[in-house]
Amino acid sequence: MEVSTQASARVAVVTGGMGGLGTALCQHLARSGMRVAATYSPDNDHVAEWLAQQRHDGFEFKAFRLDVTDFDFCQSAAAQIVAEMGAIDVLVNNAGITRDASIRKMTLDNWRVVLHTDLDSVFNMTKQVLDSMVEHGWGRIINISSINGQKGAFGQSNYSAAKAGIHGFTKSVALEVAKKGVTVNTVSPGYLRTSMVTKVPEEIIKTRILPEIPVGRLGEPDEVAALVAFLVSNDAAFITGANIAINGGQHMY
């Protein structure tokens, strides 16, 4: 891919950048010519190992400690990124967790922690970058939702509510900045070949998950990352407020 000089100077931030999808997102954005900052949660003790592996694979990322549930932490982390790397041009709100249980068994703490991590974080980080993007007349925000935010999932009322809320947020912010050169979009992946999914017993994957996916396989993190890389490019400037499903046909709407 030919990358322009302007694009090569852009700074992208990926929250939750050290998971399976997060790593793929960082790598694809770097391949498109961007300088990438990956954020990690305060309890992550594998940062040095992850950075070393990325360098081995040919990528030079910067890593920043971040509690996405804490607005003040997001503010200070964003300021640190800007001080070290320059203005943030691209934000990928990817951080998220699950705490699954049926609503009858779900605790208030597990409801709240998922909403704080998966939904409040999108507000917390978007607030830190949006004014600068508007001022510069260019910006891209991608919010990673989920198929389960579209169709629901047994035992995931907290996660599904958070992920559905993400797209409502996306649409409203997209309207507010549409004339300012800033696009805001949602990407909703289905089941991906990440460590979280591959920990599910193989029999469950074969008998319950794959039969629901028309293409007959799990998605690859790289496939989602390639979609995100397109959405943050100049070629996608006419796409905003969209929710793009990437789920192998498991949920069509």
Catalytic residue among 40, 159, 191, 253: 159
How far from the centroid of its chain's Cα atoms is residue 186's Cα? Answer: 9
Q: Is 159 a catalytic residue?
A: yes
CA 33, CA 7: separation in Å to the nearest integer? 6
Cβ proximity of 62 and 85 under 8 Å: yes
Distance CA 172, CA 189 (A): 21
Q: Which residues pair with 14 in a beta bridge?
A: 38, 92
Angle of CA points 94, 100, 101, to nearest 5°: 155
Neighbouring residues of 176: CB distance < 8 A, sequence distance ≥ 6: none
**243-246: strand order across its sheet:** 62-65, 35-40, 11-14, 90-93, 139-144, 182-189, 243-246
Which amino acid would we find at residue 158?
Answer: N
Q: What CA–CA distances, in Å, run from 89 to 13, 226, 238, 242?
A: 8, 18, 17, 19
Q: Which residues are catalytic?
A: 159
